[in-house]
Each structure stands twice: as C-alpha cells, then as structure tokens.
Structure 1
Amino acid sequence: MNRTIKNTDYRFLPVLLGTDANCYGMARAFHEAYGITSLALGKFPLLETRKSRIVEVHTRPDFDQTEAFLASLDEVASLYKGFYDQLLLIACGDRYTELICENKARLEGRFVIPYIDQALKLQLENKADFYQMCEAHGLPYPATVIVSEETQDQIDLPFDFPVALKASNSIAWLEIDFPGKKKAFKVESRAELEDLVHKAYAAGYRDKLIIQDFIPGGDDAMYVLNSYSNAQGKVQMMCLGHCLLEDHTPAGVGNYNAIIQEANQDLYQTYQAFLEAIGFIGFSNFDLKYDARDGQYKVFEINIRQGRSSYFATASGCNLASWLVRDRVDNIQLETPHYHDNPHLWLHVPVDFFLGEAAESHLPQARRLINQGRVSNTLLYDQDLGLYRRLMINRFYHGQRKRMQV
C-alpha cells in the first residue's frame, strides 16, 4: 500500500472497513459533503466500490482476522497519520465493528473510534440480551421465546404459528451452513420449526435461537431508524425511514430495497431516551415493525453502525458523514437533536421494478417524489459514473431484477 490519497482537506481521512454498498454509501456521503476521496479496506473487491473515483480500495483475504486487521491498520496509520490530522475509522459490517471494539485500546491514539466498548456491544448485538434491555427501558418488541442447544427439544410457545426464527448471534450464524439456511425464517408449523432448530445446532451453531410472534403485515410494515450519538453519549441526529420493499432472496432477507424517509416524533423521543440512558456512542441502526394489532412499533434489533440502506438518510438531506465530522473533527455539539423530516425515496432496485412490486397504497407518494426528482440510488452517483462503472452498475441492477423475481 502506498500513500496515494491526497485530498486537499487535511483535517481528516475516512478509513472505511468493507467494500460493499454500505461502504460506497459512506464514501459518497463524504464526497458529497467535503469533496474528498475515502480509503476502504476489506477482504475482497466487490462490485459496489469497483472502478470508483471517490473511494480507493485495498483488500486482503484474511482482513477479517485479528492479526491481519491490525497489521493493515498499522500500515494505514504509518502512511497517513502525519498527512491528515485525524483518521476516522468507520465499520461497514458486523465483523469489523466486532474487531474495532475488541481492539479499541490498541487503535486509540491513531484513529478516531466512534464506537462503544466491547461489554455494551456484546449486550446489544446478542438479541437475547438486547431484548432484556428493551424490557428494562420500555421498548416494545415481539413476544419472544429463547431456545438453546440444551432446550431445543423442549420448545413451549405462548403464541400461534406462523412464527419468526432467527439467530441471537448473527456473526456465529454466518459461520455455519445447512440446506435451506436463511438469515431469518417465517415458520408455518411446529414440525418445520423443530426441523430448522435441529438443523442449526447439528450444523455447529452454539448460541441461542430466537423464536418470535410473527407480526402480520407486508414489507411496508417495516421501519428503520438511524441515529448518531456524540462522544459524550448525547444523540445529535435521528432519521426514520419507512420501508416499502424488502429483499426476499435467501441471502438478503431483512435487507431493504426501497425506503421513503418520514418523521415520527414519538419514536425519535423514545429511542433518544434509550440511547442516552445506556451511554451509546456513534452510529446506530434499529429495525422495527409496526404491529397493527396493538398500534406499536416493535424493535427487532440494533446495529451499532450505519446499515447498508442508511444512505437513504444522506439522500434525504441528513448526510451521515457530516454528523461524525461535526462531532469528532469540528467539535460542534447540539443541545437538542436534529429530528429529520424531509421525504425522499431511496432505491436499491430499478425504478420500474419498484413500481411494479410495492404496495399500491404507497405508489401515489412514491410517484410524486420521483416526478419531483426526489429519488436516489446509492450506486448511481453522477460524479462517479465513468463508462465502465455505469455499464457495470446497470448490469448489476438488471441481474438484481432477475434475482428478485425468482
């Protein structure tokens, strides 16, 4: 690796961990706000950041292993620390947040690390512990039964089928495989549930499994809440998105493909209170679902980073990169958080595919936003679309259309 990024703004360099759409969304946010190029480190070169002029990518296959991770960051620090005043370390995947939190003491002093400590991270990212915290702080969540390897043959459900099934430990889940494996399941019967639970543990999963009351509703019952908390644990920004279309492919279940930004003061205030009560720092990302049976927004999980779809916030005028820079570079703090409210349509699928798949009730608003030019796609950035990249991205979306229709 050579020092080839020579931005004219010497105050900071974004160091992004990952090479996917999440990484590209953050690189685009930095470029839009400051006109700078970001550095990205990851395991493999992925299409989303390939042939880009706004992010320089360096990869090594073992980058998700501790020794290689630290060695790569040592190299980055030695190359760039004297050239830029601050190096902003930003994870774009769960494994990288884990590595940052585990090695925070080793990295501090050379990098700005807007992340919580390991102990709080473990509580929040383990869904069983997270739901205990929700209970303590009054956050609604779906009725839940927790299963372990030892209790897998003693499942007693206080709610009816269908149910949702997912791993409490999402990182450990990635490390196993079995026929029909998905990120999450909608399970229609006890026989199907028992079969999946047994397959998971037989494949080597050792943590808890979460069985939940399945909240009725389509893709448009889902919501995503993004937030940024400053170094003192005070929320600076909250931005809510209303999902209109999800990814239903086995590997992509739970990812969003269409979001309209909208505001909800009650949710903003509720989750601000939660984040400040637990002393959260940095970006957070909550997945929620509206339960029409009782009128509550019920939380599924928190990510201690921005999510793949979080560019929807930047697209709607709430630039994620600027909140980090305001806090850690410019030392600007708000006494009262910015509760974002500026409707904008974000897509990760072609416009015509979205219009053909989304619920009819939301199409009038979506069409108005499209006609007003208030529609964005993370990867379609006019300032970063050379001929090769334009062809590559268009081919990607054509292929994605086929995948979604299977």
Structure 2
Amino acid sequence: MVRISHDASILPVILGGDIGAYAIGREFHEAYGCKAISLIQEPIGIIKHSRIFEHVRCTTTEPEEICDHVRRIAVRNRDKTVVLITNSEPCIPAVNAAKAQIEGIVSPTPSAEVIAQVSNKNRFNELCRAHGLDTPATELVRLAGNEPIAPSKIAFPLVAKPAYSPEYASFINMGFKKVYFIERQEQLDELWAKLRDAGFAGNFLVQELIGGDDTYMDSVTLYIDSHGKTTMFGGAQVLLEDHAPSMLGNPVAMITQPMDDVWDKCAHMLTSIGYRGFANFDIKRDPATGRRLFLEVNPRIGRNSFYNCAAGANPMAFCVEDLVCGRDVGPVRITNEILYSLVPTRLLRRYVRDPELLARVDRLMSQNRVFDPQRYAADRSLRRMVDVELTENNQYRKFARYYPEPTETSF
C-alpha cells in the first residue's frame, strides 16, 4: 500500500522489550530489511533470541541515561538515520529528550506539549466533546492532601482509573491495577485510602461502567505526518483482552475493519491540537444504546500495531517515508479483514459468544488469515519458537486465573 524507499538507510532503536516492541522491530524488518536495537534492561525471550534484533542494556529508562545510549548508538552508526520509538508511556519523556538533544535522530512520538493534553484523561474528555466524540460520565477525584473525598454521584457499579497514566506507572509496579471495577462506595473509599497511604497524590477518574464484554471494544490507529496530514487509518474490533491486573485492557485478539466515520473524527480532533506521529484510541460500544464511547488515546503506536501491518499497511513505512525520506504518503485507509491473535485460537473461541462474530473468526481461520507478530518466518529458530510456544501456552493459565469465563461487563 505504501511505496518503500529501499535505499533508506535507517537504524531503528526501540525503547522497550515486550511483544509490542518485537512487533515494531518486525515491521521495520519487513519494510526495510534492517535489524533493530532493543534498548531495555532485559527483553523477553523472543527478542533476546531473535535474528532481527540486537540488545543494548540500560539500567533505567531515565532520560539522561537513554540519551547517553542513543547518542553512542548514533555516533557508531553515522551512515544511518536513527529512528527512535517506544510503545511504553513511561519511556516517552526519554524519547522526547533524545529528540531535543541529539542531532539527526527522528521519532514518530508526539511532542510533550501535545501529549500533556491527550494523556490527561480529563482534558481528553473535553477535546472529545468539542469534536463530537462521546465519552462516559466522569468525575475527577483529587487525591493530593488529606481532605475527605465526597461519595461518587455516578451509579454503581462503576470504573476508577488514573487521570494521567505517566504519574501512575510506578504504582502499577507496586501492585495497583490499571483499571478498577467498583461495586459500592465502601470499595471506592478503601481504594482512595490505599492510594494515599502508598503516596499517590495525583488525580483519578470515576466513570460510568459501560456494559458489554471485550468484543464491544474497538481500536483505532492513526499516523499523522510531519505536515499535519493523517496518512494511515487503521481499525479493529477487539475479540479478547488481557485480564492480568497489570495488563488489563490490552487486546490480545482482534479483527480488522474499516471505521470511516470514527477515523475522520479522531483525525480532526488530533490535528486541531497540532498532533504529529502515531496515536491509538480505545473505544467501547454501549450494547444498550449503540453509543461509541471514547475512553482514551495513547500517544504511541499501540502494543498491537501489527494488526495494521497484517492487514496490508506497515505502520513503520509511513513514519520512515515521512521523517527520513521526506515523501508524501497516503492517505491509506486499511480495509482488509484479518484475524490478529496473541493467544491460541482454541482459547480465543471460548470467549467469543456472538454466533455471527464467531463465524467470522472461523472463516478467517479456514482462509489462513490469522496473524501473530511473534510467528515470523524470517526470524525462525528452534530457541525462539520455544519462547513463542511457552508464551502462548501460558495464556491458558493466565485466563484460567484472571478471567475463566466471559462476563457481561468484561470484569
């Protein structure tokens, strides 16, 4: 779908080492035949034992250390353009620091000023409403200080989550969840007390609970080029999400589909604030009303970026042709239907309850249109395939523990 500049001399440096980082490295390799560097303390096995990755170890992801590593990498590779990218929100400040301090590197990461607008979920809700995008009923709760917190006026059960993800990242490492399902006021009061005791002084959002299982979630991925034009439009219906507490809400299976009306509204909202780079929206459809409710936008490509590549539009080609080659690309609207899955299809089928949707899954399976970014023929080795098999088989244990049966709310 995008004409590739095969003479592009690039070195991808990916700040991260998870499945999402592997997908990005694979996308670069598919498009440009280049290896990528995983810059992280310790990557997962499928990167550690990969032929298309090198690993540079860092002890922290603090901007100063990352800038030092990227500067040394750039000096050693003066004949190449370093493309620096991350799919980890806590790592974004380090990427933007490197962009500002190191001459000649490029990154599809939005500016800090723009990220501050969209990552603050209260500000995000304001932007959505201003551009005709519906959002759940929301209350902002300030946890700083020790003033009593008023009871919620939103009907229970409800959802509670941090208003600004970057300031909450360390608390996930302490055992706090990304999203809380709250059934009564006493649980909410207990959460506020635990957060304050742990030292959290940021803001939380309390939102109405939108019914529907994981299959009522949608994903939208956009690339907005350096001139402010949206050149890549990707979308998928989620089939199943991860339910482990630290990974809650991350899709693990999806079917791609066009979303023209949603794409245009999302693009208009982002371009109105000067957004540049990749963006990934989380949307939920209300089964009771049919409303599409916009939950958040991630200022990055998204852990599941490979669903776009599998459907025929390699996201990394859009950013390289724009930022490195200076070519005008697109716009491309991804319409091919494929099944993207990080879990065994036998496990996935247990959680798809709608007969028509299950028929789509079965049809795509019968047509061999099932894609897993970990399974890459150009990066095949016995050791790496053992890593992949172990990762996939572990999904049975994870779902048995955290989400043994689908529910009407996905909690």
TM norm structure 2: 0.91
What is aligned with 1:71? 68
Aligned-pair Cα RMSD in Å: 1.9
Matched, 1:298 2:293: yes
Query: What is the CA–CA distance in structure 2 between the aligned matches of 1:24 and 1:152, rounded to whole Å?
Result: 45
Q: 1:165 aligns with which of 160, 165, 170?
A: 160
- Is 1:178–1:200's contact at 8 Å kept on the other side of the alignment? no
User: What is the DSSP-based 3-state SS (H/G/I as helix, E as strand, rest coil) of the residue aligned with 1:199?
Assistant: helix
What is aligned with 1:24? 22
- Is 1:19–1:48's contact at 8 Å kept on the other side of the alignment? no
Unmatched 5+ residue regions in structure 2? 1-5, 402-411
User: What is the DSSP-based 3-state SS (H/G/I as helix, E as strand, rest coil) of the residue aligned with 1:61?
Assistant: coil
Per mean C-alpha deviation after superposition, the further-off stretch among 289-298 and 378-387 is 289-298
* Distance apart, 1:179 and its partner CA: 8.4
Kindly provide the CA deviation profile for residues 367-393 of structure 1, in whole angstroms up to 9, marking residues without a partner as x. Answer: 110111111011111221201111121
Spell out the pairing of 1:317-328 with structure 2 (5 A cutoff): 317-328=312-323
Spell out the pairing of 1:348-363 with structure 2 (5 A cutoff): 348-361=342-355, 362-363=357-358
Q: 2:118 aligns with which of 105, 115, 124?
A: 124
Kindly provide the CA deviation profile for residues 138-165 of structure 1, in whole angstroms up to 9, marking residues without a partner as x. Answer: 3211110000025873334343111011
Query: What is the CA–CA distance in structure 2 between the aligned matches of 1:33 and 1:313, rounded to whole Å?
Result: 13
Query: What is the CA–CA distance in structure 2 between the aligned matches of 1:129 and 1:101, rounded to whole Å?
Result: 21
Query: What is the CA–CA distance in structure 2 between the aligned matches of 1:352 and 1:177, rounded to whole Å?
Result: 30
- Is 1:10–1:83's contact at 8 Å kept on the other side of the alignment? no
Matched, 1:392 2:392: no
Higher relative contact order (CA 8 A, sep 6+): 2
What is aligned with 1:262? 257
What is aligned with 2:404? none
What is aligned with 1:40? 38
Matched, 1:145 2:143: no
* Distance apart, 1:11 and its partner CA: 1.9
Query: What is the CA–CA distance in structure 2 between the aligned matches of 1:208 and 1:268, rounded to whole Å?
Result: 29
What is aligned with 2:210? 215
What is aligned with 2:337? 343
What is aligned with 1:3? none
Query: What is the CA–CA distance in structure 2 between the aligned matches of 1:121 and 1:275, rounded to whole Å?
Result: 10
Residue 79 of structure 2 aligns to which amino acid in structure 1? F
TM norm structure 1: 0.92
What is aligned with 1:83? 79
- Is 2:127–2:269's contact at 8 Å kept on the other side of the alignment? no
* Distance apart, 1:321 and its partner CA: 1.0
Query: What is the CA–CA distance in structure 2 between the aligned matches of 1:275 and 1:393, rounded to whole Å?
Result: 36
User: What is the DSSP-based 3-state SS (H/G/I as helix, E as strand, rest coil) of the residue aligned with 2:272?
Assistant: helix
- Is 2:37–2:54's contact at 8 Å kept on the other side of the alignment? yes
Residue 183 of structure 1 aligns to which amino acid in structure 2? K
- Is 1:178–1:199's contact at 8 Å kept on the other side of the alignment? no
User: What is the DSSP-based 3-state SS (H/G/I as helix, E as strand, rest coil) of the residue aligned with 2:297?
Assistant: strand
Query: What is the CA–CA distance in structure 1 between the aligned matches of 2:174 and 2:112, rounded to whole Å?
Result: 33
Q: 1:60 aligns with which of 50, 58, 61?
A: 58
- Is 1:178–1:203's contact at 8 Å kept on the other side of the alignment? no
What is aligned with 2:405? none
Residue 75 of structure 2 aligns to which amino acid in structure 1? S
When residues 227 and 206 of structure 1 are mapped into structure 2, their CA distance, relative to the original with a 3 A threshold, is: same
- Is 2:222–2:231's contact at 8 Å kept on the other side of the alignment? yes
What is aligned with 1:204? 199
When residues 255 and 177 of structure 1 are mapped into structure 2, their CA distance, relative to the original with a 3 A threshold, is: closer
Query: What is the CA–CA distance in structure 2 between the aligned matches of 1:311 and 1:338, rounded to whole Å?
Result: 16
Query: What is the CA–CA distance in structure 1 between the aligned matches of 2:31 and 2:95, rounded to whole Å?
Result: 25
- Is 2:25–2:36's contact at 8 Å kept on the other side of the alignment? yes
User: What is the DSSP-based 3-state SS (H/G/I as helix, E as strand, rest coil) of the residue aligned with 1:405?
Assistant: helix
What is aligned with 2:371? 376
Kindly provide the CA deviation profile for residues 252-303 of structure 1, in whole angstroms up to 9, marking residues without a partner as x. Answer: 1111110000112110111121122111101100111012333221111111
When residues 401 and 313 of structure 1 are mapped into structure 2, their CA distance, relative to the original with a 3 A threshold, is: same
- Is 1:152–1:197's contact at 8 Å kept on the other side of the alignment? no
Query: What is the CA–CA distance in structure 1 between the aligned matches of 2:146 and 2:213, rounded to whole Å?
Result: 32
User: What is the DSSP-based 3-state SS (H/G/I as helix, E as strand, rest coil) of the residue aligned with 2:239?
Assistant: strand
User: What is the DSSP-based 3-state SS (H/G/I as helix, E as strand, rest coil) of the residue aligned with 2:148?
Assistant: coil
When residues 275 and 179 of structure 1 are mapped into structure 2, their CA distance, relative to the original with a 3 A threshold, is: closer
* Distance apart, 1:322 and its partner CA: 1.0
- Is 2:313–2:334's contact at 8 Å kept on the other side of the alignment? yes
Q: 1:271 aligns with which of 258, 262, 266?
A: 266
User: What is the DSSP-based 3-state SS (H/G/I as helix, E as strand, rest coil) of the residue aligned with 1:379?
Assistant: coil
Query: What is the CA–CA distance in structure 1 between the aligned matches of 2:247 and 2:130, rounded to whole Å?
Result: 31
Kindly provide the CA deviation profile for residues 326-384 of structure 1, in whole angstroms up to 9, marking residues without a partner as x. Answer: 212332224x6322111100001111111122224311001110111111011111221
* Distance apart, 1:183 and its partner CA: 1.0
For these two proteins, the number of residue pairs brought into alignment is 394
Q: 2:87 aligns with which of 66, 71, 92?
A: 92
User: What is the DSSP-based 3-state SS (H/G/I as helix, E as strand, rest coil) of the residue aligned with 1:110?
Assistant: coil
